[in-house]
Structure 1
């Protein structure tokens, strides 16, 4: 596996929440528009909220998935945030698979 993007928050960076949401949306749209895409995007902690009902980036994540980007969401995190019935894109994973994917990737980009 070449590149994996890890998203551990539902906003991009720390500070103003509205700005962070806007930046996350812009980042994901730019990744979607690139010819070169990551093999996978891993969502954990509050990052799993991005793949759930009510997320402002569902269309972008769906587009990335349709382009062949594997979307994995931490099952423990989904349970913690009570999102199991609200997940709209990607698949539920576990820390064993997530840690293996991160260790085997040539490049891991953490957001």
Structure 2
């Protein structure tokens, strides 16, 4: 069951601050549990280093693809993809602009920042 109008924002290549390897383990667990428990957001936005999670080689790519198949929309910041030179490596979601992200934030009933 999707949360009707929840937006999750991911702005890091992982979850939390500190050890990068632990951050990837945590984001992987979070996404897998959200999928398994059926507690899916309506939309996930990815910006800054978070865009790396949507690209070739990401350890959470399979989970993100499953979430997308389950109806979760994923918007990836095009400016960020260009900055990290990843524009051709995206494997899930669609590219969007900062205006798209601002609009989604305004329309969401709940915003979760990871």
Instruction: From 61, 65, 68, give the equivalent of 2:68.
Output: 65
SS of 2:56 mapped into structure 1: coil
Residue equivalent to 2:88: 85
Residue equivalent to 1:98: 101
SS of 1:14 mapped into structure 2: coil
Residue 35 of structure 1: CA displacement?
2.2
Scaled by the length of structure 2, the TM-score of the pair is 0.94
- The question of 1:55 aligning with 2:77 is answered no
- What do you get for the CA RMSD once the two structures are aligned? 0.9
Matches within 5 A, 1:8-87: 8-87=11-90
Separation in 2 of the partners of 1:95 and 1:16?
28
SS of 2:33 mapped into structure 1: helix
Scaled by the length of structure 1, the TM-score of the pair is 0.97
My pick for the range that moved more, 27-36 or 55-64, is: 27-36
Residue equivalent to 1:6: 9
Structure 1 unaligned runs (5+)? none
Residue 36 of structure 1: CA displacement?
3.2
Structure 1 moving runs of 4+ over 6 Å:
none
Separation in 1 of the partners of 2:45 and 2:97?
10
